[in-house]
Amino acid sequence: MPKSKKEAKGSIFYLRAASVEDIARRACKFDYTADLLILAKAPKGNDLISLGGRMKDTILAYYVNVREAGRIIRYSPASEDAEERAEFVKSIGPDTQNRYYINVMRSDLGCFSRAKKMDSKSVEQIRVGSALDLVSAVIKKTSKEETIAQLYSFPFKGKRILAAFDVVNALSDDKPAFFFTQTDGDARSFARYDYREDRLDFTDQVGEHAYMYAKVINLAEPFPFFVLK
């Protein structure tokens, strides 16, 4: 007897990102490699999708709606002379300084059912004392893996929440652990940690050797399982 879509494939929960730049920043490894992005048809235009982790039978998909289409996105972090930008291009150009190229694959994800909600019990939610505690822990963990750390920022009832998954491996054996804290200020692209002074700030630029960085993926809505107690 054939299995249903949900039994065979699981489901996808679509979580809207704040901008195309947030989707590109999430995919970019900042070592001239990047995760593959998905371009899927939407009722209006296309959805540009960065696939996230799986929670039981549900896959998180971060997306933003775009009118454009293509097979390559060029991502340029902000600099002193220019704002951060992500755009579709026809080919990889010869100048790769401060430019990262991300492959995009057109795909039909209709074989997956669309999840409408996620149970708060599917994730262990752990409050962290401060943004400095969270960012420094995430950066120190990923520094051993030689990759840039990643956090999420999203609005929740007039507050801004900063969060990361599975910061402490021992606390995420049975199900994902979601570490979070409240933070002040507007959404920015990177968290910048001064390890000499043990200080933290947020910026739209990356690359100064005196600091350690974590990319911040800004979302337009909260995670569906998130509960602030």
Percent of the chain whose pLDDT exceeds 90: 66
Ranking 71-75, 162-166, 170-174, 197-201 by mean pLDDT, the lowest is 170-174
Percent of the chain whose pLDDT exceeds 70: 95
Residue type, position 38, single letter = I
| pLDDT tens, position by position, 64-117 | 999 999 999 999 999 988 999 999 999 988 877 789 999 999 999 999 999 999
- Residue 8: the pLDDT is 41
User: Is pLDDT of 3 > 50?
Assistant: no
- Residue 146: the pLDDT is 67
Strand 177-183 and strand 212-218: the pairing is unpaired
- Residue 208 binned pLDDT confidence (cut-offs 50, 70, 90): confident
| pLDDT tens, position by position, 19-62 | 999 999 999 998 888 999 999 999 899 999 999 988 888 999 99
Q: What is the mean pLDDT of residues 119-137?
A: 93
What is the average pLDDT score of the chain?
90
User: Is pLDDT of 210 > 90?
Assistant: no
- Residue 120 binned pLDDT confidence (cut-offs 50, 70, 90): confident
Cα→Cα distances 38→14, 32, 154, 203, 223, Å:
13, 19, 22, 28, 20
